[in-house]
Amino acid sequence: MAVIKPFRALRPPKDLVEKVSALPYDVMNVEEACAMAAGNPNSFLHISRPEIDLPAEFDPHDESVYLRGKQNLCEFIKRGVLTQDNHECFYVYRQRMGTINQTGLVVCASVDDYQSGVIKKHEHTRADKEEDRVKHIDYLDANDEPVFYLSRSCAEVEGIIEGVTNGPPEYDFTSDDGVGHTAWIIADQHLIDRLIVLFAAIPKLYVADGHHRSAAAGRVRELRRDSNPDHNGNEEYNSFLTVVFPENQLNIMPYNRVVKDLNGHTVAEFITRVESSFKMCTSTSPVIPSERHHFGMYLDGCWYHLYALPAVINEKDTVSRLDVSILQNSLLSPLLGIHNPRTDQRIHFVGGIRGNDELVKLVDSGEYAVAFALHPTSIRELIELADQDQIMPPKSTWFEPKLRSGLLVHLLS
C-alpha cells in the first residue's frame, strides 16, 4: 500500500515561473550552474546550488554553503518569488520533449514506505552524496527538488489526471533546453481523497531518479524525530516531495562511460583482449546500440561495434544480464582495472542526453582514452530487478526529460 499525501506547495507566481525554474542540482558542475544563473537573481539555482553565490575557493560541503541556501530561500519568500498555497493540494506535472510526453502526479511520499520497502530502490547511495543532501534538506527545512518515482499503470488514476489536464493549467512554458513544462493544481477534496484511496491499492512505487534524496529524507526524519519529544508521525518531515509517473510513459536513455587510460595496454593489445569477450567490427559512423548486448566503442579516432559473446551473458541472472553489468564484468574490470566504478577516479559517466558527440569530444581531447556507448536499460528490467530487491550497478539509468526544480517546494515545518 503506497501512502501519498497532499501538501501546501511553496511555488513561484505565474509571471516568474520561467525565471525561477532550473535544471536539477546534480546534472551540472559549479561553473555551469554559475553560467545558467548569471544575471538572474530569481533562478532557483541560488537555492539548489547556493555555492554559486560564494567565492570559488569555498568547499561546496562547507556549512556556509548550506546556510547560504537557507538565506536565499528566505529571501525568495520575502521578495514574493516563492509563495505558499493556502490549502493542501496535489499537483499534476507534464513534460514534453520532442515526441516524448510524460505526465505525473506531484505528491508527498511516505518516509515509512521508503524505509519499509513499499518504495523499491535499485541503486546504492554514496555516503558523501547522501550526507550532502541530508545537510542541504535539513538546513533549508524543505524538500527543494522532487524525487522521480514510477508506478504500475492504474487506469482510474490516469483517468483522473487526464480530466485535470483538460482544464486550464497553472503553469505552461518551454525552458531554454526546449522541454515544455505544464502544471495543474488538484484542489478538489473529492479528487484528493480518491487518489489517496487508489494509491493505497498500489502495492509498490519505484525510485527512478533520486536515491540520494530519498535516503536523505529518511535520515532527516530520524534527526527531527529524535529531537522532537512531541513527535506523533504526522509532521511534514515524515514525508517528502515526489513526482510519480506511470511506467508506460517514461523514457530511459543510456548512461555511457569514458575511461582515462587503457590500463597499460597498447591500442592493438587492448583490441585483441576485447575480442575475447565481444564480436567486434569497425564502423564508419558513430555507433548507437540498437539492441541489448550491443555496445559502441570509440578508441583512437575510430568507432567499433561490440556484440557480447554468449559466453559472457548469463540470462538467468537479473543483474548479470544487464548491459551495464556485461560491460563492467567482461571489459571494464578485467581489462581496464575499473573494479569499483562507484569510487574509481579513472571512469566518468556521461548521460545519454549528451549523445555520442560528447564521447568523441572527451576522447579526442586526450583526457580520456576510450568511450563506450550503451543500449538503455528498460523499465521492465528496472522493475523486475527492484521487485527482487536486487541492486543495479552504479549509473545504470538516465531518465529524460529531467524534472524542473523550483516549480514546487515542500516545507518541512
- Strand residue runs (E) in 313-402: 347-351, 370-373, 398-399
CA–CA dist 243, 94 (Å, integer): 10
Place of cell 568547499: 59
Q: Are residues 94 and 243 in the same domain?
A: yes
Cβ within 8 Å of residue 395, ≥6 positions away: 255, 257, 324, 341, 349
pLDDT band at 173 (very low <50, low <70, confident <90, very high): very high
258-298: pLDDT as tens digits: 999 999 999 999 999 999 999 999 999 999 999 999 999 99
pLDDT for the residue numbered 16: 98
CA–CA dist 174, 35 (Å, integer): 19
Question: Which residues are paired to 244 by β-bridges?
Answer: 105, 149
Q: Are residues 243 and 263 in the same domain?
A: no
pLDDT for the residue numbered 123: 87
- Identify which has the larger pLDDT, 115 or 27: 115
Q: Are residues 238 and 287 in the same domain?
A: no
Residue 60 has pLDDT above 90, yes or no: no
Residue 27 has pLDDT above 90, yes or no: no
Position 390 in a domain = no
Q: Are residues 223 and 349 in the same domain?
A: no
Is residue 281 helix, strand or coil?
strand
Sign of torsion, CA 285 286 292 294?
positive
Q: Are residues 29 and 150 in the same domain?
A: yes
Q: Are residues 221 and 288 in the same domain?
A: no
pLDDT for the residue numbered 361: 97
pLDDT for the residue numbered 336: 98
Per mean pLDDT, which range of 125-134, 157-166, 303-312, 327-336 is the poorest? 125-134
The arithmetic mean of pLDDT across residues 39-45, rounded, is 98
Position 396 in a domain = no
Position 140 in a domain = yes
CA–CA dist 351, 399 (Å, integer): 9
Q: Are residues 248 and 141 in the same domain?
A: yes
Other CB atoms within 10 A of residue 153 CB: 13
Position 386 in a domain = no
Q: Is 405 left (phi over 0), alpha (psi -120 to 50) or beta?
A: beta
Position 384 in a domain = no
Position 389 in a domain = no
- Which domain, by its residues, includes 238? 4-252+401-411
Q: Are residues 100 and 241 in the same domain?
A: yes
Contact 241/108 with Cβ under 8 angstroms?
yes
The arithmetic mean of pLDDT across residues 246-250, rounded, is 91
Domain of residue 323, CATH code? 3.30.1760
Position 147 in a domain = yes
Position 385 in a domain = no
Please name the amino acid found at residue 97.
Answer: M
Residue 58 has pLDDT above 90, yes or no: no
Contact 361/298 with Cβ under 8 angstroms?
no
CA–CA dist 42, 34 (Å, integer): 13
Residue 126 has pLDDT above 90, yes or no: no
Among the listed residues 255, 257, 287, 258, the one whose alpha carbon sits nearest the alpha carbon of residue 351: 255
Among the listed residues 323, 351, 346, 350, the one whose alpha carbon sits nearest the alpha carbon of residue 335: 346
Mean pLDDT of the chain: 96
Q: Are residues 104 and 159 in the same domain?
A: yes
Q: Are residues 51 and 34 in the same domain?
A: yes
Q: Are residues 178 and 48 in the same domain?
A: yes
Q: Are strands 239-246 and 100-110 parallel, antiparallel or unpaired?
A: antiparallel
Q: Are residues 26 and 89 in the same domain?
A: yes
Q: Domain tally for the chain?
A: 2
